[in-house]
Amino acid sequence: MTNRRSKLLFHKITHWEYWPFQIVYIPIYFLWSYYSIKAKSIFFFNAANPTIKNGGFMMESKKEIYDLIPQQYYPKTELIKEGTALEEILNLIEVAQIKYPLIAKPDIGLRGSAVKKINSITDLKEYANKANFDYVVQDLIPYENEIGIFYVRYPHEKVGKITGIVSKEFLIITGNGFSTVEELIKENPRYEMQLKVLKQEYGKKLLDILPKGEKLNLVPYGNHARGAKFIDGSHWVTPKLTQTINEMCLQIPGFYFGRLDVMYHTVEELEQGLHFSVVELNGAGSEPTHIYDPKHSLFFAWKELARHITYMYEISVANHKNGVPYLLHKDGMKEYRMHLEQSNKIINF
């Protein structure tokens, strides 16, 4: 056991993608300070996306963002307030025609924490009883692939650009007919680092033997913190894909900077605007997550982070000149304290 833990620790140390973001971002803090001095506001990001609370950097509501997006682009979604009775939740789901399995996740989230696939009323009851925060329930998107598309558009422009694409490999194991699910998980260090959480979620099911050739998707959403492998797909950017994404983003009022997490069937269909759905739209707090491709160095990550923060600063300044106020310091600090409180709730879910 000690030897296995040592190997996992060594894997984390030698792969910067697992390092705490506070360490990864050290050089970026200096760039942020520089732009804050120029803007005369630490919270200049508030102006990046004027229609999204805090520009989408912190304390933004997923449901409020979904409401900005034309309905055809995202799954049926309902907001559930903390403490809502199960009977009322079931009624909301029935009226909205949301079917099992469905997804439940915090309305104000944090890097995929507390996102859960709900297979039954029993699962939903357990989630509702445990959640000490507002959350959304939504249809499980039927497409098998997921990417993150980073979109940037300056306020004076009618055409934005895609500045990066990340493809996501889910945490999927394949049975061999004799190994348990847990044993299969331990074959991959990336997967094994999720074992503690998977044990809480699957319990004794991890002792099942998966038939030869059968695949099991242990985490049906592409979140790096939950074991998904991120692959740089920026070479997929084409004029047609840019046109499709731009046409959609122009229909989202006040959206200039952020990442669209999208599930889709095929890249070719996505280019044509067919068979895809927006999982989430992330604003000023978005990362260009293609940096987490294991092939990329930390220096590449710093370069991309700096490039995108520069975009955000320039867009924020342009919107500010058009009359969008920056967040006052006292209001920004209040929002930040609320963000920390919310984060603690979700992490400890």
Residues 203 and 304 in one domain: no
99 assigned to some structural domain: yes
What is the distance between the alpha carbons of residues 241 and 38, in angstroms, rounded to a whole number?
A: 35
Cα-flanking dihedrals φ and ψ of residue 326, to 5°?
-80, 160
Residues 228 and 251 in one domain: yes
DSSP element (H, E) containing 314: helix 298-321
8 assigned to some structural domain: no
What is the distance between the alpha carbons of residues 87 and 90, in angstroms, rounded to a whole number?
A: 5
pTM: 0.86
Angle between helices 121-130 and 86-96 (to 10 degrees): 130
Q: What is the pLDDT of residues 211-248, one digit of tens each?
A: 888 888 877 666 766 777 889 999 999 999 999 999 99
Which pLDDT belongs to residue 222? 63
17 assigned to some structural domain: no
Residues 132 and 204 in one domain: no
User: Helix, strand or coil for residue 129?
Assistant: helix
Per DSSP, 210 falls in state P
Residues 81 and 94 in one domain: yes
> Structural domain tally of the chain?
3
Which pLDDT belongs to residue 345? 82
Per DSSP, 287 falls in state -
Residues 176 and 243 in one domain: no
Find tokens 């994404």 and name the residue: 245
Residues 245 and 274 in one domain: yes
Residues 81 and 204 in one domain: no
HSE at residue 70, side-chain half, CA atoms within 13 A, is 9
Q: What is the pLDDT of residues 153-187, one digit of tens each?
A: 999 999 999 999 998 888 888 888 888 888 888 88
Measure Cα distances from 290 to 62, 245, 247, 254 in Å.
22, 18, 23, 25
What is the distance between the alpha carbons of residues 316 and 304, in angstroms, rounded to a whole number?
A: 18
- Identity at 69, one-letter amino acid code: I
Q: Which residues contact 207 (CB under 8 A, 6 or more apart)?
A: 180, 181, 182
Measure Cα distances from 199 to 11, 192, 206 in Å.
21, 11, 7
Residues 209 and 165 in one domain: no
Which pLDDT belongs to residue 208? 81
Residues 136 and 146 in one domain: no
In the numeric block, which tokens belong to residue 340?
A: 């920390």
What is the distance between the alpha carbons of residues 312 and 307, in angstroms, rounded to a whole number?
A: 9
Which pLDDT belongs to residue 3? 72
Cα-flanking dihedrals φ and ψ of residue 277, to 5°?
-150, 140
Residues 198 and 315 in one domain: no
1 assigned to some structural domain: no
Which pLDDT belongs to residue 316? 97
15 assigned to some structural domain: no
Per-run averaged pLDDT (10 residues), the chain, 349 residues:
72 79 91 96 95 93 95 94 92 92 89 84 92 92 91 95 91 85 82 80 82 82 72 94 96 96 93 94 93 93 96 97 93 90 80
What is the distance between the alpha carbons of residues 73 and 280, in angstroms, rounded to a whole number?
A: 10
- Give the closest residue to 141 by CA, choosing from 122, 117, 124: 117
CATH value at residue 95: 3.30.1490.20
